Amino acid sequence: MLLRLKAALLDAEAERQVTKAFGEELIALVPRLRRFALVRTGNAAEADDMVQATLMRAWERRSQFEDGTNLVAWLFTILRNTHLNQRKRSRREVEDVDGAFAGALSSAPDQEHRVALFELQAALDDLPVEQRETLLLVTVDGLRHEDAAVILGCQVGTVKSRVSRARERLAIALGLS
């Protein structure tokens, strides 16, 4: 997919539909988009599909992007909206709510860092979705509070509050406070 995107970007650049900087930044953001998609879905295949759908939507709407504006926020907003739309469509699918199926597929960790990682993931999973999503945008993806607020469609103060509460809950869950 990335090879086709790069080829399309080169063609669009030659036809002056996009700038070289737009194409380079778009390609450079793919790992961050995938990480955010993986956090939202918890499934690598779904995350890859969501990133692909995001890149396709961004490509289709490239003329709507204004040079000089925040490409990161634009792409993360498309990805978030893509995920929300997919969740609405998939409400009729059967889920593994109690984790019985997933539990049968897992094996006990054999290394301490894996245990710590599982504990961290469990603590993150216990956070309310809004707090987890906001915390990861700000801390993992390094977005400014203002950019996260735009992506999440809320006020900057709400972002700061969610990050603070999420950090407090994580510290308690991990026995750090």
pLDDT at 158: 96
The one-digit pLDDT tens for each residue of the chain (177 residues) are 666 766 676 666 666 666 677 777 778 888 899 998 988 888 889 888 888 888 888 878 877 877 778 888 888 999 998 888 877 777 766 566 677 766 677 665 567 788 888 898 999 999 999 999 999 999 999 999 999 999 999 999 999 999 999 999 999 998 887
Give the pLDDT of residue 67. 74
pLDDT at 106: 62
Residue 70 region by backbone torsions, left for phi larger than 0, else alpha for psi between -120 and 50, else beta: beta
Distant-in-sequence, close-in-space partners of 133: CB < 8 Å, separation ≥ 6: 39, 40, 152
pLDDT score for 146 = 95
pLDDT of residue 13: 65
What Rg, from alpha-carbon coordinates, does the chain have?
18
Specify whether the CB–CB gap between 148 and 137 falls below 8 A. yes
Q: What residue ranges define each of the domains in the chain, with the CATH number in brackets?
A: 1-71 (no CATH), 113-177 (1.10.10.10)
